[in-house]
């Protein structure tokens, strides 16, 4: 899949869907940074806050290359489609989609999960954080990147969910194995590798016994020394149980 250039944003991206892109990597002279809201904000307010923050840095809204969405509960496939329709309208309002080969395409990655009830579940769709580009470079010239979240549904359909309806230790290992292979396997097309990862985020509500040691950390190689962050949250679609995203960023700020 060809990379799409977004010079006005300071990054290139791998197309995904009308809703989000699969991965983004900073262009030469730029680096990707990450911002987290201390308290997640409702989506429209959050994108306004992101725009104001970027303007304060002298950066355009086009520099936003990743979004981390939080919803109240997992959705059916139909419900997920309806949510995406409203999300697309918001992206259009903030100039976060572009035309690729005659079709409108999301130009920012997205991770979209539903926090468990005790983990600050939002009352409405909200933004936890976002990634953006700034002039600069990581030490050693390492590239910076952000990936969209991936769950264990290779075909994007309910029928393709790996070990659907199962959450046994063996099933969770198989789910985690496929997801980790998918997200790590996407890195080479960005010109990066596991050595460039700074953030490994896991979204799951099931015990990490077994699959963490056997499936999550080994693919990270030496970067496993930095650990992985576990969010007690469910992927956005019902019956999907395990999601991961990766980042390699210059720095992180809390807003």
pLDDT at 174: 96
Structure confidence by residue, pLDDT tens digits, 23-61: 999 999 999 999 999 999 999 999 999 999 999 999 999
Residue 48 dihedral angles phi and psi, to the nearest 5°:
-65, -45
Structure confidence by residue, pLDDT tens digits, 103-125: 999 999 999 999 997 768 899 99
Cβ atoms of residues 142 and 196 within 8 Å: yes
Looking at per-residue confidence, does 148 or 119 come out higher? 148
pLDDT at 1: 64
Structure confidence by residue, pLDDT tens digits, 165-223: 999 999 999 999 999 999 999 999 999 999 999 999 999 999 777 789 999 999 999 99
Task: Indicate if the pLDDT at residue 140 is higher than 90.
Answer: no
CA distances from 6 to 71, 105, 221 (A): 28, 12, 31
Structure confidence by residue, pLDDT tens digits, 222-249: 999 999 999 999 999 999 999 999 999 9
Among residues 102, 116, 193, 105, the alpha carbon closest in space to that of 147 is found at 193
d(CA 26, CA 11): 4
Residue 160: burial class (beta carbons within 10 Å; 0-12, 13-18, 19+):
exposed
pTM of this structure: 0.95
Domains and CATH numbers, the chain: 4-254 (3.30.1330.40)
Task: Indicate if the pLDDT at residue 5 is higher than 70.
Answer: yes
pLDDT at 165: 93
């Amino acid at each position: 899949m060809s990379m799409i250039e977004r010079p006005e944003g300071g990054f290139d991206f791998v197309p995904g869907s009308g809703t989000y892109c699969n991965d983004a990597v900073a262009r030469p002279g730029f680096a990707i940074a990450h911002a987290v809201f201390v308290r997640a904000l409702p989506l429209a307010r959050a994108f306004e806050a992101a725009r104001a923050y970027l303007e304060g840095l002298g950066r355009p809204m086009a520099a936003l290359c990743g979004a981390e969405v939080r919803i109240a509960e997992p959705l059916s496939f139909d419900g997920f489609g309806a949510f995406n329709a409203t999300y697309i309208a918001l992206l259009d309002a903030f100039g976060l989609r572009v035309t690729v080969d005659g079709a409108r395409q999301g130009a920012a990655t997205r991770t979209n999960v539903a926090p468990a009830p005790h983990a600050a579940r939002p009352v409405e769709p909200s933004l936890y954080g976002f990634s953006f580009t700034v002039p600069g470079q990581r030490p050693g010239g390492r590239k910076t990147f952000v990936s969209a979240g991936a769950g264990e549904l290779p075909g994007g359909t309910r029928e393709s969910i790996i070990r659907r309806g199962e959450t046994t230790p063996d099933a969770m290992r198989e789910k985690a194995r496929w997801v980790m292979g998918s997200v790590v396997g996407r890195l080479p097309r960005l010109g990066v590798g596991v050595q460039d990862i700074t953030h490994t985020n896991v979204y799951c509500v099931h015990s990490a016994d077994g699959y963490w040691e056997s499936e999550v950390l080994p693919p990270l190689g030496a970067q496993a020394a930095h650990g992985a962050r576990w969010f007690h949250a469910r992927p956005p679609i019902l019956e999907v149980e395990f999601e991961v995203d990766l980042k390699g960023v210059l720095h992180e700020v809390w807003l």
